[in-house]
């Protein structure tokens, strides 16, 4: 599957761009993908409509929005754009506004961009990398940073994965072949939910629980039917409001790049 570098051509990077508000920012991110032949103007309109319909759930970390919509005939190829704003804009997100970085994503299906989002999630969990990306003087420097390889996890030294695994043993997690499922949910099941899935999997890997807990990214409609198969749902506040009545706990995550916040949500879920 494609990496960020393969999906983000230099022509789709614009730094220090002006925008009067969130619609203009999403429009500019879509324009970059239109310019590279990834999508048409209809897809850009669908990205804007996605926020109008579902709220600012695409603002998945402080200052960072992942603009996207469902795969459609308006997408000719899977691709991304990178828009850094001259002045931040408000999307209406209580915790993560204002936004100065908008990454656009268009996908022909639900699978072609998974590796790129996993890679991006890994990069954006490191504060040093985020700072360097925000300060990159030009597009070539930014692309070099995005293709720079593995990034250390800021919380890796703080946690004791062995202790987490021992707690799992004590609670019977290793007593049989049972595998739990956690759902990550967004409006379309292919953008922010995948991003959250990737960060969640980083924490599960650190705990040594990857063999015991699987994570599935899905959309709001499918989540209501799948909730009975899961131990919990992880999502944004905006999407959580649409999942009232599901039979399992719904954990709201404000910063999809924060392994510390997701670690805490997992501890609440499993009472460890």
Tell the residue number behind the tokens 């999942």, with chain if given: 243
Tell the residue number behind the tokens 């590279």, with chain if given: 36
N- to C-terminal Cα separation, the chain: 35
> 145: which DSSP letter?
H
Do residues 74 and 64 touch, judged by C-beta distance below 8 A? no
Report the distance separating Cα 112 and Cα 198, nearest Å. 15
Do residues 32 and 47 touch, judged by C-beta distance below 8 A? no
Give catalytic status of residue 68 as yes or no.
yes
Strand order, beta sheet including 59-61: 13-17, 79-89, 99-106, 64-67, 59-61
- Per DSSP, the three-state class of 183 is strand
- Per DSSP, the three-state class of 207 is helix
Active site (catalytic) residues: 68
């Amino acid at each position: 599957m494609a990496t960020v570098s393969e999906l983000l051509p230099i022509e789709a990077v614009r730094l220090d761009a002006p925008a009067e508000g969130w619609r203009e920012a999403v429009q500019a991110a879509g324009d970059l993908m239109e310019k590279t032949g990834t999508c048409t103007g209809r897809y850009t309109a669908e990205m804007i409509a996605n926020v109008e319909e579902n709220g600012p759930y695409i603002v998945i970390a402080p200052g960072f929005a992942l603009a996207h919509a469902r795969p459609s005939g308006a997408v000719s190829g899977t691709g991304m754009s990178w828009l850094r704003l001259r002045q931040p804009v408000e999307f209406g997100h209580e915790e993560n506004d204002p936004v100065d970085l908008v990454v656009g994503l268009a996908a022909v299906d639900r699978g072609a961009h998974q590796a790129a989002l996993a890679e991006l999630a890994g990069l954006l969990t490191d504060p040093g990398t985020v700072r360097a990306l925000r300060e990159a003087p030009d597009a070539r420097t930014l692309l070099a940073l995005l293709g720079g390889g593995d990034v250390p996890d800021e919380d890796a030294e703080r946690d004791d994965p062995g202790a987490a695994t021992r707690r799992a043993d004590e609670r019977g997690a290793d007593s049989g072949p049972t595998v739990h499922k956690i759902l990550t949910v967004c409006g379309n099941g292919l953008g922010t939910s995948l991003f959250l899935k990737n960060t969640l999997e980083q924490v599960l890997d650190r705990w040594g629980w990857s063999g015991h807990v699987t994570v599935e990214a899905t959309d709001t409609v499918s989540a209501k039917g799948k909730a009975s198969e899961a131990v919990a749902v992880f999502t944004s506040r905006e999407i959580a409001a649409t999942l009232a009545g599901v039979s399992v706990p719904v954990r709201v995550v404000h910063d999809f790049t924060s392994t510390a916040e997701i670690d805490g949500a997992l501890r609440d879920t499993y009472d460890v």
